[in-house]
Amino acid sequence: MQIFLASSNPGKLREYSELAAGSPIEFALLPNLYQIPQFEENAPTFAENSAGKALHYSSFTKGILLADDSGLVVPSLGGAPGVYSSRYVGQNANDSDRYQKLLREMQGLDGEGRKARFVCITSLAKEGRALAVLSDFADGVIAKEPRGSGGFGYDPVFFFPQLKRTYAELRREEKNQYSHRGRAFRKALAFLEGHIA
């Protein structure tokens, strides 16, 4: 079964393809994404953005579409960057710009003040109809400086205590096993395999 991904991010496609390895699910980026009217992710919650994106883009294709919204939540910053994780510095910023801003805002914070949570909401829709909305998370701590060269986004500063490394220091298989996206996706995969059956 081919599932379209409502994204133009090749890193995200690679992660989802790796997560689906060995299953009957195959992922592809949604064709002609830039020719489709863009969905504005301006809702206050990850769930509303994820479900809205899935419903919107699925109405432009046949078959099942997966959309997610994920981000980093830091309680000591009032939940920021939250739903603005990818737009934390502005539209044209890169990953380093975003996590460097986060590190600046967290200067002087220690212990509980550095706790953080990665959240992922995964939504499945077909031709404008919602099939499922699934969520999961991973708890960690914001490191005081970036470490590692893997992953993307805030991975270099998200320290995962269970493995004593940042996400950017994990091997792909490890990140896929423990990450918020991996956990939410396994719920989606179970749903899809049941759907196929």
Residue positions annotated with a catalytic role: 69
CA distance 122 to 56: 14
CA distance 173 to 69: 21
DSSP 38: P
DSSP 39: P
For the chain, give percent helix, strand, coil, nearest 5. 40, 25, 35
CA distance 108 to 14: 36
